[in-house]
């Protein structure tokens, strides 16, 4: 019997008990309560605003907070994958239950794959919940735009593009750190326009992982989406502008739909917007969620990013180095970002950013293969398409062909004759940009 089946037999039911806003000294806590048999989980969000004093649509904020709990719970459910999720603190329609099942199933695609699990959509989970109670009718006067900042180049480009539109921008930063706060500061966002909640994982989950329970990737960007919706609602903001690009739609394992970035994909964005329309009263009442960079490829984002050298010493998107705001220079994410930027920048600048010349590291050859070779799984990091990496490598080669470093020599050996795909005028029309903002990306109707 597999560990997955063994744990599902041992733990048959996951319970979503409740959520509560609670004032504590100079902050507000939003605490969730989940359990699997004797194991209880209480993840917490902490934010400085006094919730009870905010002039907000409380009925809507409560509905979004409940939904944030539905997004959070999958991180705890996955440790044992109980076949039943019982919701005791809110209602769901049949359509919503199917919506959440789809998010969990696709958002856990990498988790299932890497743990050798082949779940069936119909039976991997059953969600039990009372019927949803309808929201009262209401229209809210909303203004301003919230930009989630993760510390990488993509949110930098979103900030800089939106500044050209002369919009009232607020930054949204979960668990702020030097890179994220630095990017907001460099963009000219004042501290009073930064919404920076702290998210805390219950240590009981970490203990179960230590004991051998299942672990792996979850659709964290869905947590970002629902939490951004909540904090935008609390602050009366009209828009939430993500920085997810067209490249986030590509599968990571050939012949499957497994996507490390599923909750950054156009499919999830479309589904999330439908959920907001159906469950939160629509965009006359709740903040509107969209990705500003959806029409672009990652290559185009990198081309735009290099126009803003003031961020070169600030931005950082390496997961391994995030705790101390460094680039580890040994992971696929670091290598990928280095290659993208190497298409446009010289090594002297890149070494100042990363601390080393990553193209001189032969030990990264296997990672390089996964980024460019057909038939190889893409590294499970937030990386773009193989065409984008190939184009970037070819451009990097042309800048350095008189004395190519190790990985560029490998590139030339693998692709001795390469005709790069043109991404200059790429524009993915499957996007949800408000019409008044499309000019920021230079809308082009032909790929």
Chain segment 326-375, per-residue pLDDT in tens: 999 999 999 999 999 999 999 999 999 999 999 999 999 999 999 999 88
Structural domain contains residue 189: yes
Structural domain contains residue 239: yes
- Check pLDDT > 50 for residue 446: no
Which of 233, 257, 291 corresponds to the end of one domain?
291
Q: Which domain holds residue 61?
A: 3-134+141-291
C-alpha to C-alpha distance for 322 and 261, rounded to whole angstroms: 18
Residue 436, classed as helix, strand or coil, is helix
Q: Based on the domain organization, do 172 and 282 belong to the same domain?
A: yes
C-alpha to C-alpha distance for 36 and 213, rounded to whole angstroms: 12
Length of the chain: 447
State mean pLDDT over 169-188: 96
Q: Based on the domain organization, do 236 and 368 belong to the same domain?
A: no
User: Residues 241-295: pLDDT tens digits?
Assistant: 999 999 999 889 888 899 999 999 999 999 999 999 999 999 999 999 999 999 9
Q: Based on the domain organization, do 155 and 60 belong to the same domain?
A: yes
Residue 420 CB partners (closer than 8 Å, separation 6+): 390, 391, 394, 395
Q: Based on the domain organization, do 94 and 221 belong to the same domain?
A: yes
CA 31 to chain centre: 22
Which of 243, 274, 291 corresponds to the end of one domain?
291
Q: Based on the domain organization, do 267 and 347 belong to the same domain?
A: no
Task: Grade residue 53 by pLDDT with cuts at 50, 70 and 90.
Answer: low
Q: CB of 84 within 8 A of CB of 232?
A: no
Structural domain contains residue 188: yes
Q: Based on the domain organization, do 359 and 218 belong to the same domain?
A: no
Which of 291, 325, 344 corresponds to the end of one domain?
291
Burial of 105 (0-12, 13-18, 19+ CB in 10 A): middle
Q: Based on the domain organization, do 249 and 145 belong to the same domain?
A: yes
Structural domain contains residue 261: yes
CA 413 to chain centre: 35
Q: Based on the domain organization, do 210 and 335 belong to the same domain?
A: no
State mean pLDDT over 218-240: 96
Structural domain contains residue 278: yes
Q: CB of 378 within 8 A of CB of 252?
A: yes
Residue 134, classed as helix, strand or coil, is coil
Domain count, the chain: 2
Q: Based on the domain organization, do 44 and 112 belong to the same domain?
A: yes
Q: Based on the domain organization, do 232 and 367 belong to the same domain?
A: no
The Cα-based distances of 359 to 4, 236, 256, 292, 406 in angstroms read 40, 46, 30, 31, 6
Structural domain contains residue 430: no
Provide the sign of the torsion angle of the four alpha carbons 429, 149, 332, 418, taken in this order.
positive
* Residue 349, both tokens: 């600048």
- Check pLDDT > 60 for residue 137: yes
φ, ψ of residue 373 to 5 degrees: the values are -95, 130
Structural domain contains residue 401: yes
Structural domain contains residue 387: yes
Q: CB of 319 within 8 A of CB of 151?
A: no
* Residue 181, both tokens: 């706060």
Q: Based on the domain organization, do 95 and 204 belong to the same domain?
A: yes
Q: Based on the domain organization, do 287 and 341 belong to the same domain?
A: no
């Amino acid at each position: 019997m597999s560990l997955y089946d063994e744990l599902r037999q041992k733990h048959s039911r996951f319970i979503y008990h409740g959520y509560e806003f609670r004032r504590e000294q100079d902050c507000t806590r939003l605490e969730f309560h989940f359990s699997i048999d004797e194991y209880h989980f209480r993840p917490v969000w902490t934010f400085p605003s006094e919730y009870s004093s905010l002039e907000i649509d409380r009925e809507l904020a409560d509905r979004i907070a409940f939904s944030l709990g539905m997004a959070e719970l999958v991180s705890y459910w996955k440790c044992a994958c109980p076949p039943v999720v019982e919701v005791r603190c809110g209602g769901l329609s049949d359509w919503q239950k199917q919506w959440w099942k789809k998010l969990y199933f696709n958002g856990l695609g990498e988790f299932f794959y890497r743990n050798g699990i082949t779940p069936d959509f119909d039976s991997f989970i059953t969600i039990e919940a009372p019927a949803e109670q309808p929201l009262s009718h209401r229209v809210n006067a909303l203004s301003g735009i919230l930009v989630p900042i993760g510390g990488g180049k993509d949110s930098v480009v979103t900030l800089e593009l939106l500044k050209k539109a002369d919009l009232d921008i607020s930054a949204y930063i979960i668990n702020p750190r030097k890179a994220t706060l630095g990017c907001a500061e460099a963009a000219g966002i004042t501290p009073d326009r930064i919404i920076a909640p702290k998210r805390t994982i219950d240590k009981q989950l970490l203990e179960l992982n230590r004991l051998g329970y299942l672990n792996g990737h979850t659709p964290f960007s869905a947590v970002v989406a629902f939490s951004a919706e909540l904090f935008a609602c609390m602050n009366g903001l009209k828009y939430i502008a993500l920085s997810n690009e067209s490249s986030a739609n590509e599968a990571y394992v050939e012949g499957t739909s497994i996507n490390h970035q599923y909750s950054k994909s156009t499919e999830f964005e479309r589904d999330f917007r439908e959920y907001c329309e159906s469950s939160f009263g629509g965009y006359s009442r709740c903040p509107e969620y969209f990705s500003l960079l959806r029409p672009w490829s990652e290559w185009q984002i990198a081309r735009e990013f290099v126009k803003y050298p003031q961020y070169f010493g600030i931005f950082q998107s390496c997961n391994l180095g995030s705790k101390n705001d460094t680039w580890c220079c040994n992971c696929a994410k670091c290598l990928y970002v280095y290659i993208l930027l190497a298409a446009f920048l010289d090594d002297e600048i890149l070494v100042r950013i990363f601390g080393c010349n990553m193209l001189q590291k032969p030990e990264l050859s296997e990672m390089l293969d996964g980024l460019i070779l057909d038939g190889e799984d893409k590294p499970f990091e937030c990386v773009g398409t193989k065409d984008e990496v190939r184009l970037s490598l070819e451009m990097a080669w042309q800048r350095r062909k008189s004395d190519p470093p190790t990985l560029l020599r490998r590139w030339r050996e693998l692709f001795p004759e390469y005709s790069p795909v043109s991404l200059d005028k790429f524009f993915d029309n499957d996007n949800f940009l408000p019409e008044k903002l499309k000019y920021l990306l230079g809308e082009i109707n032909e790929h």
